[in-house]
Chain A
Amino acid sequence: MSNQTDVRLDDAPGLRTEREATPGSAGRGGRSLRPPEPEAESYYGLPVLNGTPWSDHDIAGYLFLGGLAGASSTLAAAAELTGRPALARAAKVAAVGAVGGSLYALIHDLGKPSRFLNMLRVFKVTSPMSVGTWILSAYGPQAGLAAATELTGRFPRLGRAATVGAGLAGPALATYTAALICDTAVPAWHDGFREMPFLFAGSAAASAGGLGMLAAPLAQAAPARRVALLGAALECAAAVRMERRMGLTAEPLRRSRLLKAGQALSVAGALLGQGLGRRSRVAAMAAGAALLAGSVCTRFGVFHAGTASARDPRYTVEPQRQRLAKSRAERDLT
């Protein structure tokens, strides 16, 4: 019984009991009962980061709704100033609905919703969430006023001012969310900070264009169709560039089926809108629905790629080791 270990899990009568075990026999071959070695480059494969405590419905939903609201307000202002009242009306209503939904999602995801207003006690440019709260505070009332005056027909001049104001603040609401998620240690978000705002701007424009196509008559929907095409193109270009530049941390983005579906839906919706959508109301509505669904998929895709990258210690450790090795090599050269 040369390969017998001194810890036994059975009590077969032919075997010696623990009292007769040979000291130090554990090292002499045989099957080891020790758990496998932890992976060399991590602590039991556990993540280095704590990841986000956010729910995808709330925060990915917030990314989508904030983008839809902001871009819709800009589209509404542009439509109103170029004499397309039906498109403007649809976009204003969509904007106020979306910003209401985004506000709900934002508050719902707080651990202490009753303290929502605590975010208004400071302004911190180092915190995209603080800046975003103030953007939302500047944008929300104007979007609300624009929609209310539109629907009631009262105070048209005030309504016009609010429409333009919300239209100017809208792009800030649509793109600050990129800074919000990139300003974290989450590898797939942080490393994409150069392209993420453009990806979000494109996705927001595509969703607003889609909503315009869905809700406005064909004769007035030309800007919506063009916006959708521009947005889809910007979204795809930003995504391609981001994945090329990022290296290892792009893996979760590249693997995301939601992101692929989002891009496919955006492009398909935009092309359908520019083609059949110019003549057929049904085609325009289908295109609009595809664009909105595409934007939802894109935002959830980005969100989940980020959380996946935070869960795997490789995406945190590997780029940092490479950076250290590079700076050491540079130091040794000089």
Chain B
Amino acid sequence: MAFDLDRAPLDAGYDDPPKRMGFFTDTSICIGCKACEVACKEWNAVPEDGLLFTGMSYDNSVGLGADTWRHVAFVEQRKPLGHQETGARDMDFRWLMASDVCKHCTHAACLDVCPTGSLFRTEYGTVVVQEDVCNGCGYCVPACPFGVIGRRETSGTAAKCTMCYDRLEVGQEPACAKTCPTDSIQFGELDELRERADRRLEQVRAAGASSARLYGHDPADGVGGTGAFFLLLDEPQVYGLPPDPVVTTADLPSMWRHAGAAALVLLAGMAVAAWRRGR
């Protein structure tokens, strides 16, 4: 399992793939500017995703979907953050901001269940939808344990973050990472990012943020580790992330066995009912 993260492109059949690329999103330095959301929309020509006022802090894009490929979450809590002073007496306050994105799982459920082969693994280990192959069956949408991918109303086909596949091909970093003013979004070779994240976690913890943790970095987790992983300052569910996601197809062999057994039971029951004497 330990080598799964790096093996993803090899397992997909690439002979001599480049290093697996990924995102490390360090939420402790996110300032909630949403430049990533804007840059992503601009570069990828992602359609408008609803112009509504939610009242959920500064978050009006609500969550990831077909037309939201980067989403900045805003969490307001009455807790201190590290050793910070809020300035207001008797009032602890912290504002957690986190830019969420497709995780580009090592074991990607969306890719597994896609019946057309539209979703595929790139040589960088990322997961991409081919829009001209997708027939809009929508199976990938409930399969994703993170609630990332969606079916676009306007085109009828599935859409999600491509980690700017077109930019990667010409040696450019993805638009969101390029524009991030604090380097909260870092793009690079996954194994290097993971080392960097380990060092950063120690630093943040030493600064008093004892609840800091990495999310998606563990190759032994239910999705084999993710290509886009995070440094969070609270439990994953506080940011709308599942605490222990598991790729649904892990249980598929057992599902097929059960479905096969049920089919045989149905066949046998019919035979018994027809060949038994009497009325």
| Chain A residues engaging chain B, CB cutoff 8 angstroms | 24, 26-28, 34-35, 37-38, 40-44, 46-54, 71, 74-75, 78-79, 81-82, 84, 109-113, 115-116, 118-119, 121-122, 124-130, 133, 168, 170-172, 174-176, 178-179, 182-186, 190, 193-198, 200-201, 204-205, 222-223, 225-227, 230-231, 234, 278, 310, 313, 316-317, 320-321, 323-324
CB distance from A49 to the nearest CB of B (A): 4
Known: A34-B76, A178-B255. 4 other contacts (CB 8 A): A40-B238, A119-B137, A183-B113, A183-B248
Instruction: Find residues 128-154 in chain B having any chain A CB closer than 8 Å to their own CB.
Output: 133-139, 141-152
- 5 smallest CB-CB distances across A and B, nearest first, come from A111-B136, A111-B156, A43-B240, A27-B91, A197-B262
Interface CB pairs A-B, < 8 A, 7 = A41-B237, A50-B144, A53-B151, A75-B274, A81-B274, A121-B117, A197-B263
Q: How many residues of B contact A (CB 8 A)?
A: 87
Instruction: List chain A residues, Cβ under 8 A from B270.
Output: 71, 74-75, 78, 205, 223, 227
Q: Are the C-beta atoms of A44 and B56 separated by less than 8 Å?
A: yes
Q: Are the C-beta atoms of A111 and B76 separated by less than 8 Å?
A: no
Instruction: List chain A residues, Cβ under 8 A from B62.
Output: 46
CB distance from B49 to the nearest CB of A (A): 13
Partner of A82, one of B65, B138, B267, B275: B275
Q: Are the C-beta atoms of B135 and A46 separated by less than 8 Å?
A: no
Q: Are the C-beta atoms of A48 and B273 separated by less than 8 Å?
A: no
Q: Are the C-beta atoms of B274 and A82 separated by less than 8 Å?
A: yes
Q: Are the C-beta atoms of A323 and B266 separated by less than 8 Å?
A: no
Q: Are the C-beta atoms of B245 and A320 separated by less than 8 Å?
A: yes
Give B279's nearest chain A residue, CB to CB. A222
Q: Are the C-beta atoms of A126 and B252 separated by less than 8 Å?
A: yes
Q: Are the C-beta atoms of B139 and A129 separated by less than 8 Å?
A: yes
Q: Are the C-beta atoms of A200 and B262 separated by less than 8 Å?
A: yes
Instruction: List chain B residues, Cβ under 8 A from A127.
Output: 112-115, 139
Asked if A27 meets B263 with Cβ closer than 8 Å, knowing A110-B136, A111-B137, A182-B255, the reply is: no
Q: Are the C-beta atoms of A133 and B115 separated by less than 8 Å?
A: yes
Asked if A42 meets B240 with Cβ closer than 8 Å, knowing A179-B255, A185-B248, the reply is: yes
Q: How far is the CA of A323 from the CA of B279 in the complex (A)?
A: 51
Q: Are the C-beta atoms of B113 and A129 separated by less than 8 Å?
A: yes
Flag the segment in B13-21, B38-46, B82-90, B201-209 that touches A. B82-90
Instruction: List chain B residues, Cβ under 8 A from A179.
Output: 252, 255-256, 258-259
Instruction: List chain B residues, Cβ under 8 A from A116.
Output: 135
Q: Are the C-beta atoms of B76 and A38 separated by less than 8 Å?
A: yes
Q: Are the C-beta atoms of B263 and A35 separated by less than 8 Å?
A: no
Q: Are the C-beta atoms of A184 and B133 separated by less than 8 Å?
A: no
Q: How far is the CA of A131 from the CA of B136 in the complex (A)?
A: 17
| Chain B residues engaging chain A, CB cutoff 8 angstroms | 54-57, 59, 62-65, 73, 75-78, 87-91, 109, 112-118, 133-139, 141-152, 155-158, 235, 237-245, 248-249, 251-252, 254-256, 258-267, 269-276, 278-279
Q: Are the C-beta atoms of A184 and B143 separated by less than 8 Å?
A: yes
Give B112's nearest chain A residue, CB to CB. A126
Partner of A48, one of B240, B249, B262, B276: B240
Partner of B146, one of A48, A115, A197, A310: A48
Instruction: List chain A residues, Cβ under 8 A from B109.
Output: 184-185
Instruction: List chain B residues, Cβ under 8 A from A40.
Output: 238
Give A314's nearest chain B residue, CB to CB. B237
Q: How far is the CA of A42 from the CA of B235 in the complex (A)?
A: 10
Give A186's nearest chain B residue, CB to CB. B142
Instruction: List chain A residues, Cβ under 8 A from B242.
Output: 48, 316-317, 320
Q: Are the C-beta atoms of A79 and B112 separated by less than 8 Å?
A: no
Instruction: List chain A residues, Cβ under 8 A from B272.
Output: 226, 230
Q: How far is the CA of A52 from the CA of B143 in the complex (A)?
A: 9
Give A26's nearest chain B residue, CB to CB. B88
Give A129's nearest chain B residue, CB to CB. B115
CB distance from B255 to the nearest CB of A (A): 4
CB distance from B141 to the nearest CB of A (A): 5
Instruction: List chain B residues, Cβ under 8 A from A82.
Output: 274-275
Partner of A50, one of B55, B59, B147, B262: B147
Instruction: List chain B residues, Cβ under 8 A from A310.
Output: 142
Q: How far is the CA of A267 from the CA of B152 in the complex (A)?
A: 42
Partner of B265, one of A112, A194, A234, A321: A234
Q: Are the C-beta atoms of B136 and A49 separated by less than 8 Å?
A: no
CB distance from A290 to the nearest CB of B (A): 18
Q: Are the C-beta atoms of A194 and B254 separated by less than 8 Å?
A: yes
Instruction: List chain B residues, Cβ under 8 A from A75.
Output: 270, 274
Asked if A24 meets B267 with Cβ closer than 8 Å, knowing A40-B238, A44-B56, A185-B248, the reply is: no
Asked if A122 meets B143 with Cβ closer than 8 Å, knowing A46-B240, A175-B262, A179-B255, the reply is: no
Asked if A174 meets B269 with Cβ closer than 8 Å, knowing A109-B138, A112-B156, A323-B244, the reply is: no
Q: How far is the CA of A79 from the CA of B270 in the complex (A)?
A: 9
Q: How far is the CA of A110 from the CA of B135 in the complex (A)?
A: 6
Q: Are the C-beta atoms of B75 and A43 separated by less than 8 Å?
A: yes
Q: How far is the CA of A226 from the CA of B269 in the complex (A)?
A: 9
Asked if A193 meets B254 with Cβ closer than 8 Å, knowing A27-B89, A27-B90, A320-B243, the reply is: yes
CB distance from A327 to the nearest CB of B (A): 8
Q: Are the C-beta atoms of B240 and A171 separated by less than 8 Å?
A: no
Give A307's nearest chain B residue, CB to CB. B142
Partner of B75, one of A38, A109, A124: A38
